[in-house]
Amino acid sequence: MWMQLLENFIKDSQHQREIQRATAVKMLLYGYKHEEIMPILGVSSGLISTWKKAFFKNGVDGLKLGYKGSEGLLNAIQRSEVIEWLQTKDRWTLNELEYHIACKYGVTFASKQSYYDLFEIARISWKKTSANNPKHDPELVSSKKKEICELLETQRAEIESRGLVVFMVDECHLLWGDVIGYVWGKTSERVSIPVVNAREKQTYFGALDYKTKEFITYAAQKGNSKNTINFLEYLRKQRPGAKLLIIWDGASYHRSQEIQDYLNSLNRELTKEQWLLTCLRFAPNAPQQNPLEDIWLQAKRFIREFYFFCHSFTVIKALFELVTHCQIFDFPKLNEYGVFS
């Protein structure tokens, strides 16, 4: 439909500049890049973007010489009504405001600034949205934190003597695309990083020794019950002779029958106080409880900062492991559940 509109406009227009504008948009729709269109039509990248926006907003009318949009302006009463309407909820997009004013008052401003001015008067500013899990329960999180703190305190002597090792556990799925981030570059040029397959990934199990703050990683093909058991066995070998307390989230493979059978095989003939491996869950829908989330974030930030080394996914994995495996971490969140010498 768009292509037919442009072809009819090019055929009927009597102005070379209008034909030039329509041709630029048509080439974009055919998949040409700005760098290819510019030398052919002798125009700048900025003009191409302007014409594209004008076409998708106003159709072929937006490509006509001297087109200014609708003539009308809001009067004082209408302006006040728009401000009141803007204040009825806490988030908006520019398209919502444009659509509302055009539909209700028949007004389309020639400049975006007129819409921005309305937002400012209504005390609405441009903000980045953030995720909010509606299932998150702050009271449950607080209660679970208190439970963990009290449990660790009652086991303090055994933790200090290393008879009991507390591990906070999480998984991270490292993607090749995680290397992409913000860097300084020339304004007029794109910064490209070699990424053959952005979805290629490596799953890592991670465990933080809560007393020593040593971080241990374990590479696996994916997160599932089988690999979780292999990881738990790996941790037992790292702390021979010690009982383990694992604190992790409620992932389905943490709660599977296979995991339950594994725990029963270790603990079945022992009292609860003698269990070789005990598992405790954080509160659901609150990943910020687990300090490992911050460690994974630090590691991903590191590979983005050293993107110029990352010519293959093998290099990315090597850098990721370099700054995580057997490293000692020290930041305030690591002491939220108690301080151990």
88 and 196 part of one domain: no
The answer to whether residue 192 is domain-embedded is: yes
The answer to whether residue 159 is domain-embedded is: yes
Of 33, 63, 93, which residue constitutes the final position of a domain? 63
Q: Does 231 score more than 50 pLDDT?
A: yes
Q: Evaluate whether 225 touches 256 at the Cβ level (below 8 Å).
A: yes
The answer to whether residue 203 is domain-embedded is: yes
Residue 236: other Cβ atoms inside 10 A = 17
Looking at per-residue pLDDT, the higher value among 47 and 224 belongs to 224
Q: Where are the alpha helices (DSSP H) in 42-110?
A: 45-58, 76-86, 94-105
Q: At what angle do helices 45-58 and 16-29 cross, to 10 degrees?
A: 90
In what side-by-side order are the strands of the sheet with 277-281? Answer: 277-281, 243-248, 164-175, 201-209, 214-220, 327-328
- The total of structural domains in the chain comes to 3
Q: Report d(CA 253, CA 226) in Å as an integer.
A: 9
Q: Does 152 score more than 60 pLDDT?
A: yes
Q: Does 244 score more than 70 pLDDT?
A: yes
Range of the domain at 99: 76-121
157 and 268 part of one domain: yes
117 and 233 part of one domain: no
Q: Does 199 score more than 60 pLDDT?
A: yes
The answer to whether residue 132 is domain-embedded is: no
Which tens digit of pLDDT belongs to each residue from 98-109?
A: 888 888 888 888
Mean pLDDT, rounded, for 189-213: 90
317 and 200 part of one domain: yes
161 and 239 part of one domain: yes
315 and 186 part of one domain: yes
Mean pLDDT, rounded, for 147-164: 96
Mean pLDDT, rounded, for 154-181: 95
Mean pLDDT, rounded, for 22-36: 89
The answer to whether residue 68 is domain-embedded is: no
Residue labelled with tokens 């108690």: 338
Which of 30-34, 67-71, 215-219 is the least confident region? Answer: 67-71
153 and 176 part of one domain: yes
Q: Does 134 score more than 70 pLDDT?
A: yes
250 and 274 part of one domain: yes
Mean pLDDT, rounded, for 268-278: 95
Residue 30 pLDDT grade (very low, low, confident, very high; cuts 50, 70, 90)? confident
User: How much of the chain, in percent, has pLDDT values that exceed 70?
Assistant: 96
Candidate ranges 61-75, 188-202, 284-298; pick with highest mean pLDDT: 284-298
Task: Report the pLDDT value the prediction gives residue 71, as an integer from 0 to 100.
Answer: 47
Looking at per-residue pLDDT, the higher value among 26 and 2 belongs to 26
The answer to whether residue 70 is domain-embedded is: no
80 and 55 part of one domain: no
Residue 180's CATH number: 3.30.420.10
The answer to whether residue 133 is domain-embedded is: no
pTM for this structure? 0.65
The answer to whether residue 46 is domain-embedded is: yes
Mean pLDDT, rounded, for 92-100: 85
Q: Report d(CA 290, CA 282) in Å as an integer.
A: 8
Q: Does 70 score more than 60 pLDDT?
A: no
Q: Does 96 score more than 80 pLDDT?
A: yes
Q: Report d(CA 289, CA 58) in Å as an integer.
A: 49
Q: Evaluate whether 165 touches 275 at the Cβ level (below 8 Å).
A: no
Task: Report the pLDDT value the prediction gives residue 321, as an integer from 0 to 100.
Answer: 97
30 and 107 part of one domain: no
Residue 114 pLDDT grade (very low, low, confident, very high; cuts 50, 70, 90)? confident
Task: Report the pLDDT value the prediction gives residue 186, as an integer from 0 to 100.
Answer: 72
CB burial readout 195-219, b (16+ within 10 A) else e: beeeeebbbbbbbbbbbebbbbbbe
Task: Report the pLDDT value the prediction gives residue 104, as an integer from 0 to 100.
Answer: 86
| Amino acid found at 297 | L
Residue 1 pLDDT grade (very low, low, confident, very high; cuts 50, 70, 90)? low
173 and 84 part of one domain: no
Task: Report the pLDDT value the prediction gives residue 68, as an integer from 0 to 100.
Answer: 53
The dihedral built from the CA positions of residue 43, 47, 48 and 52, taken in this order, carries a sign that is: negative
Residue 341 pLDDT grade (very low, low, confident, very high; cuts 50, 70, 90)? confident
Q: Report d(CA 324, CA 295) in Å as an integer.
A: 8
Q: Does 72 score more than 60 pLDDT?
A: no
112 and 193 part of one domain: no
Of 20, 35, 63, which residue constitutes the final position of a domain? 63
Mean pLDDT in the chain? 89
